[in-house]
Amino acid sequence: MDLLTYCKRLPKIELHAHLTGSLSDATVLQLLEVKREQLGEHHLPDSAEVTIRQGHNRSLEECFKVFGILHYLSDSLEAVENITRNVIQEFAADNVWYLELRTTPKHIPGKMTKKQYMDTVLKVVRSEMEHNKITVRLLLSVDRSRGVEDAHTTLALAKHYRVSTEYKDLVCGLDVSGNPHVGSLLDYIPVLEEAKKCGLKLAVHLAEVPNEDEVQAILNAGLVDRIGHGTFLHPGSGGTQDHLTVVRNKLIPLEICLSSNVKSGTVKTVEQHHFARWKELKHPLIICTDDKGVFCTTLSEEYYLCAKTFSLPEEDIQDLCLQAVEATFMNQKEKTILRQTVQNELKSLQGKLLM
Ligand SMILES: [Zn+2]
């Protein structure tokens, strides 16, 4: 089979996907329709404003404006239910077997509390896992632009679910994200320490833009289980030898989001992406979408883009699937089962790729 078909057939693991950024065009159109019925035609964005087509780029700041529109469109519990269902089904249709979704618990006065928002997401996750061949876990997102108080309430919510009978198996950690030009991650270290003490895993957007001091301090704190992007970590791509040493010694996996980085302009071209430098070091790398809706991509297409750009042999492509299994926030028992099923599927695909 050809490379794209092969990538679609791979048993894939998605570890860096923001719920709201993952909305497909079809879902955005649905949400726009609902708003139109409520408000009439006034002041509504066009669906083309919220996705970035092939060959188009936007600045990181413009991307954050897009996220603002998406949040506005999903401001009811009914919308939250729909978008969660659609996103999970779309990942399942792309042959993603395990998905770690991340989302910022939303509080919209008069419409939903953070707890109601999360309860709705978790309820849909539970029901979709029964109807689709996919395992889903949740990371609660701490938004660095919202301040430490807000982070504490998100942590309290995550702690609540960790001991709840209903959802303790579904909530596995925290994500730290948000506009990297706003706030300092150092302010959040106490929250992250507390999270670790409670057994929560931490995926942190780090070195998405150059910020040497912040990055080194966070790495030195030794709290991060996976790094989102890590664009400016390697000394060859704007980082430092000290960053490299810590990340290498601790073997902290990097979540690689090729289309996202190129389309939002933090990396010039796919060819110049830091993936190549880290691969040379045999460092654990996970191919992810980040925001499949906003960046108009799928996980299969990200695997394809990576394999094609860096001329990966079949063995390396398969190895990316397995590295992703190792980097999940599942417990050892669950991971063993997932590894076995992924290995079996990969074996059945072996030799079927026509290069
Ligand atoms: Zn992200």
Query: What are the backbone angles phi and psi of residue 99, rounded to the nearest 5°?
Result: -130, 125
Q: Is residue 25 part of a domain?
A: yes
Residues noted as catalytic: 208
34 domain residue, yes or no: yes
Query: Residue 6 C-alpha to ligand 1 middle, in angstroms?
Result: 26
* Helix (H/G/I), strand (E/B), else coil: 142: strand
Please check whether residue 354 lies inside any domain of the structure. Answer: no
pLDDT at 62: 72
CA distance 294 to 22: 7
Query: Does any domain span residue 307?
Result: yes
Region for 121 from its dihedrals, namely left if φ exceeds 0, alpha if ψ lies in -120 to 50, beta otherwise:
alpha
Considering the domain boundaries, does residue 224 fall inside one? yes
- Domain assignment present for residue 355? The answer is no
The pLDDT score that the predictor gives to residue 242 is: 97
Mean pLDDT by 10 residues, the chain (355 residues): 97 97 88 81 62 63 75 91 97 98 95 97 98 97 96 97 94 96 95 97 97 96 98 97 98 98 94 98 98 94 98 98 98 97 98 88
CATH code where residue 17 lies: 3.20.20.140
Alpha carbon 202 to its chain centroid, in Å, reads 12
Task: Please give the distance, rounded to the nearest whole angstrom, from the Cα atom of residue 355 to the centre of ligand 1.
Answer: 31
**Predicted pLDDT of residue 50:** 61
Q: Is residue 280 part of a domain?
A: yes
Span from the CA of 291 to the centroid of ligand 1 (angstroms): 7
Does 140 map to a domain?
yes
Pairing state of beta strands 171-177 and 135-143? parallel
Position 113 scores a pLDDT of 97
Domain count, the chain: 1
Tell me how far the alpha carbon of residue 236 lies from the centroid of ligand 1, in angstroms: 22
For 169, the token pair is 């198996």
Contact 247, 283 (CB under 8 A): yes
Would you say 297 and 91 are in contact if contact means Cβ atoms under 8 Å apart?
A: no
Domain residue limits at 196: 3-349
Distance (angstroms) between ligand 1 centre and the Cα of 344 equals 30
In 3D space, the residue among 188, 71, 194, 212 whose CA is nearest the CA of residue 204 turns out to be 188
CA 350 to ligand 1 center in whole angstroms: 32
